A = this chain, B = another copy of it.
């Protein structure tokens, strides 16, 4: 169904799996459902992914990369003379993206939250990417004389990410419905920015 080539590609499977996940949610979607959508036997899918867990992880990995990491990479890559302001934009975007998908793409967000509890490896890789971005921005901020060198950039990067966890970690998603949430983030950021600043 909708096949562009006669042989199944990983991308086609991921597309179908994501569509199935969106339709039935991560608790109900089965490998059989995905196979049905593709018009193939479910056994076929096991020639491409060793297990259902692996398929779920692959879908989540791609979703995270496309929906969260890619837009952030873009922000981190913009040349700037104000790395500290860029860091604020970066974290604000991270918060905005997570909260947006939690409400507007809820089934995939649930999938992401579930995989987060199942696969420490996937989380670790994701966190590492964010930390690398933040680390880079902080190092630039140091070069620009905006951010204090009294603490290593990598250490400050972790503190910034963990310190803002309430606003982007999926375990806090139910708190994001509160109307004051973005103001609270802005206020915390003011404090963190003071802590990061050279002065």
Chain A residues with a Cβ under 8 A of chain B: 117, 148, 151, 155-156, 158-160, 162-166, 169, 171-172, 174, 184, 187-188, 190-196, 199
A184 surroundings in chain B (CB, below 8 A): 158-159, 162
- Minimum CB–CB distance from A158 to chain B (whole Å) comes to 6
A151-B190, A194-B195 given; 7 more Cβ-contact pairs under 8 Å: A151-B191, A162-B188, A163-B163, A163-B191, A169-B171, A171-B172, A195-B196
The answer to whether B195 and A191 have CB atoms under 8 Å apart is yes
Contact of A163 among B156, B174, B188 (CB under 8 A): B188
Residue of B whose beta carbon sits closest to that of A164? B163
* Cα(A174)–Cα(B120), bound, Å: 11
> Chain A binding site: helix, strand, loop or mixed by DSSP?
helix
* Cα(A164)–Cα(B159), bound, Å: 10
- Minimum CB–CB distance from A184 to chain B (whole Å) comes to 6
Residue from the set A187, A188, A190 with the largest chain B CB neighbour count within 10 Å: A188
- Minimum CB–CB distance from A20 to chain B (whole Å) comes to 29
Residue of B whose beta carbon sits closest to that of A189? B159
The answer to whether B190 and A192 have CB atoms under 8 Å apart is no
Residue of B whose beta carbon sits closest to that of A180? B158
Contact of A193 among B148, B162, B187, B195 (CB under 8 A): B195
Contact of A169 among B117, B166, B193 (CB under 8 A): B166
